[in-house]
Amino acid sequence: MSSSRSFGRAFGAVATVSLVAVVLAVGASARSLAAPNLLKNGGADLGEGVNDVNGIVTSIPGWTRSGSFTVVKYGAPGGFPELAVSKKIGGKVNFFAGGPSNPRSGATQVVDVSRFKSAIGAGKRMATLSGLLGGYASQEDSLTVTATFLSAAGKKLGVLKIGPVTAGQRKSETTFLQKSASKPVPKATRSILVKLTAARTSGSYNDGYADSLALRLAAT
């Protein structure tokens, strides 16, 4: 696999943006980042990671796995994202992967947000789902993340989604791109179901990748 990876990030012409807009954008960003990440083990680094293309971890702390969904070490042989990629994106040791010999796998985590019910009920919380989503070379295997807002009775009230990232968006490099989506938390929300789905389109290994996943509820 190619060793030259670039985690490109296109910065627009900031100079053309008014100072007021810049200040507002920085303020909004700072508020969002100040809210804690409600996901446990969103970076796949709390448990073990396998070091080969056949491995499946026995469990993933914080997550309920389906199929052969697994956690892999950066730099594992077989063409996985390299240590240099991790260094560029802040991926640390491990990342999530769809796993060996399966077309579709995933993991779920339920986040209890009932302690925020007063603010949520007043319409004063904005949810942001974010993470690094990746894949392998020119293959279109991908990973999507959804966050479904649920009422106390389990009724679906709305969904946030990030991904899939296409091979074209990755410039056919084995790397990750930062994605995020935000929307107001529906007022009756008491929990949020976060679901990772890795989908294979070619090859044997399911190369839908993710890392550094976060779900934050910011005050509005």
Stretch that binds Ca ion, among 1-9, 45-53, 76-84, 165-173 (CB under 5 A): 45-53
What Cα–Cα distance (Å) separates residue 79 from each residue in 65, 83, 171, 204? 23, 11, 16, 13
Contacting Ca ion (CB under 5 A), which of 128, 211, 214, 218?
211
Say how many Å lie between the first and final Cα of the chain, rounded.
45
Stretch that binds Ca ion, among 19-27, 29-37, 126-134, 203-211 (CB under 5 A): 203-211
Q: What is the DSSP track for 104-121?
A: EEEEEEEEE-GGGHHHHH
Residue 184 CB neighbour total at 10 angstroms: 15
In 3D space, the residue among 196, 135, 198, 197 whose CA is nearest the CA of residue 167 turns out to be 135
- Taking CB under 5 A as the rule, which mask of x and - marks residues 106-145 in contact with Ca ion? ----------------------------------------
The residues facing 107 across adjacent strands are 65, 196
Stretch that binds Ca ion, among 127-135, 156-164, 165-173, 208-216 (CB under 5 A): 208-216
Site residues for Ca ion, 66-105, by CB under 5 A, read 91-92, 94
CB of 44 to Ca ion, least distance (A): 5
C-alpha atoms less than 13 angstroms from C-alpha of 199 in its C-beta half-sphere: 12
CB nearer to Ca ion: pick between 150 and 162? 162
CB of 102 to Ca ion, least distance (A): 22
Q: Which residues bind Ca ion (CB under 5 A)?
A: 43-45, 91-92, 94, 211
